[in-house]
Copies of this chain bind each other. A is one copy, B any other.
Amino acid sequence: MKTDYDIGRVAKMSGITSRTLRHYDDIGLLTPAWTGPDGRRHYGHTELLRLQHILVLRELGTGLDRIASIVDSDDPSTTIALLRDHLAGLTAQRERYARLAATVARTIDSLERGQPMTTAHIFDGFDHERYEPEARERWADDAVDRANASWQGLGEDGKRRHMRTDREIVEALGAAVRVGFAADSAEVQDIVAKHHAWLSEIWIPDAAAYRSLTQMYVDDERFRAHYDEVARGAALLLRDGAAEFVRIRL
């Protein structure tokens, strides 16, 4: 036969290791055209094409099981559907790494300017996993104590920074209200995330606590006045945004 490549040749041609080829044989992803009496694997042209296909999909980050189903079904629309699915995942990954990189860069930046690793800064772009929507009333009990303790522990400098961040949030919210952003828009969600992170500096609220806190911002005159200072409706927007935030992120 003309097209007879042993495992080493295939490995060199494709740039993968022979181990990988053996692995693909083991899991039935790529079976050699024939196996010699000595157990050596021999690949033909068909297998090379299949391997190419596999490698492309692998390079795209697809899992081997999914690759198998794609390669096995020659149906283009199946391939397209699967790829489209996969594309969404890739884009999400890319954005995730972009955010992480930006956050790390910012963290480095602030560290180099002598600032400690404050949680507020650090929690930018932080992905909180979900909490269970269970009753956790007791947490709220000593929450105030702990919040006070944290606040005391911040020091003069920390307190001032904290206040400044608060100001930024109020202004961002005001701008959002004026522009007319919805509570579930990315822009408002960013602000809410920032607010949550800011809050976490002195107190780590769970989902329920965070929602009731933002509700309180609406109900309590003094708080509402504080948040509505730049634009009326900011406290409401924060509350609604927080509800959405909790639903999605906590």
Contacts and interface: CB of A to CB of B under 8 A. Distances in A.
Interface string A134-172: 101001001001100100000000000000100010011
Interface string A7-51: 001001111100000000000000000000000000001001100
A59 interface: yes
Nearest to A4: B142
Nearest to A119: B52
B56 A100 contact: no
Given A86-B104, A128-B15, A132-B12, A112 B178 contact: yes
B15 A129 contact: yes
Q: How many copies does the complex hold?
A: 2
A43 to B, nearest CB: 13
A146 B45 contact: yes
B59 A100 contact: yes
Contact of A100 (B13, B79, B90, B134): B90
A13 to B, nearest CB: 6
Interface in A43-71: 45, 48-49, 52-53, 55-56, 59-61
Interface of A: 2-3, 9, 12-16, 45, 48-49, 52-53, 55-56, 59-61, 76, 79-80, 83-84, 86-87, 90-91, 93-94, 97-98, 100-109, 111-114, 116-117, 119, 122-123, 126-132, 134, 136, 139, 142, 145-146, 149, 164, 168, 171-172, 175-176, 178-179, 186-187, 190, 194, 200, 204, 206, 250
10 nearest A-B pairs in the assembled complex, by CB-CB distance = A105-B175, A94-B97, A15-B129, A90-B101, A56-B122, A93-B97, A109-B178, A87-B104, A15-B128, A83-B108
7 contacts: A15-B130, A56-B126, A84-B108, A86-B104, A98-B168, A109-B178, A109-B179
